[in-house]
Amino acid sequence: MGNRKEEILIVALHLFARDGYEAVSVSQIAGELDMTKGALYRHYKSKRDIFDCIVQRMEQQDGEQATEYDMPQEDKEKMPEKYEAVTFDDFVEYSKSMFEYWTEDDFASSFRKMLTIEQFRSEEMQNLYQQYLVSGPAEYVKDLFKNMKIKNPEEKAVEFYANMFFYYSVYDGATDKTKAKCQFEQMMGKIVEEMKQFCRGIRTVGRPAVGMKIKHGKNTSPVSRKWRRSSFRR
């Protein structure tokens, strides 16, 4: 490889993903690259410096993924208009891309495996694990569902993301990776279709019969008004 610094970063991440961050030494990283520790220190100050650069790269790639699919990069409070613009179709395509990203992208999948190994060894690793792979994504999906007017958005977000998280492990252990990916997409399609059906039902209940006028006042059903406000925006 032409870029020695990049080569060190990737080799170190692969070792962290296989053996865990704590178990890997600078000497081991240098040995994998047939270089001395002194040569490695010309590029990175320490093992911790390598790790910090890995996390920075993940933050950058995370943002790039969201930008590519025109999805919110920050939390709901910082960019509410972005959340308002997301449709079911946007969500489905982004979810497919994120599954591929966390399972097939070498950097992201290695980062995921490293955090899975290290999550019980330090509070910092547990926080990163939660941020990238558990509570962070679940909270993100919940906010998206809330803006889509999905009933019980937190419950549905947990249901959706728990299945997605489960299929990461299915994919990792599968001999037939394509089959595992298809199984995930089928599961996701089923959950999303159920939510779409619910939203269509809301619109149907809230819609007056042909030729019928809605009278605003005490004769207007408050349930119908509420359900129309909850109908899914396409």
What is the rounded distance in angstroms from the CA atom of residue 177 to the CA atom of residue 131? 26
Which CATH number is 1-57 given? 1.10.10.60
pTM for the whole structure: 0.80
CATH 1.10.357, domain 69-207+214-229, yes or no: yes
Tokens representing residue 167 in the block = 């299929």
Distance CA 68, CA 105 (A): 15
227: pLDDT strictly greater than 50: no
Res. 14 pLDDT band, cuts 50 70 90: very high
Residue 157: closest CA among 131, 130, 136: 136
Per-residue pLDDT for 217 more than 90? Answer: no
Domain assignments of the chain as residue spans, ordered by start: 1-57, 69-207+214-229
DSSP 8-state secondary structure symbol assigned to residue 67: H
Question: What is the pLDDT at residue 200?
Answer: 59
Average confidence score pLDDT of the chain = 84
Residues 22, 120: Cα–Cα separation, whole Å:
12
Identify whether the C-beta of residue 91 lies closer than 8 Å to the C-beta of residue 150. no
Burial 76-85 (b: 16+ CB within 10 A, else e): beeeeebbee
What does the pLDDT look like over 186-203, one tens digit per residue? 998 888 888 777 665 555
Structural contact between residues 165 and 157, judged by C-beta atoms closer than 8 angstroms: no
Question: Which phi and psi angles does 159 have, rounded to 5°?
Answer: -60, -45
Give the model confidence (pLDDT) of 90-138 as tens digits.
Answer: 888 999 999 999 999 999 999 999 999 999 999 999 999 999 999 999 9
Buried/exposed code over 220-231 (b: 16+ C-beta within 10 A; e: otherwise): eeeeeeebeebb
Maximum pairwise Cα distance, the chain: 83
* Cβ atoms of residues 234 and 203 within 8 Å: no
Q: 32 falls in which pLDDT band (50, 70, 90)?
A: very high
What is the structure's pLDDT at 2? 52
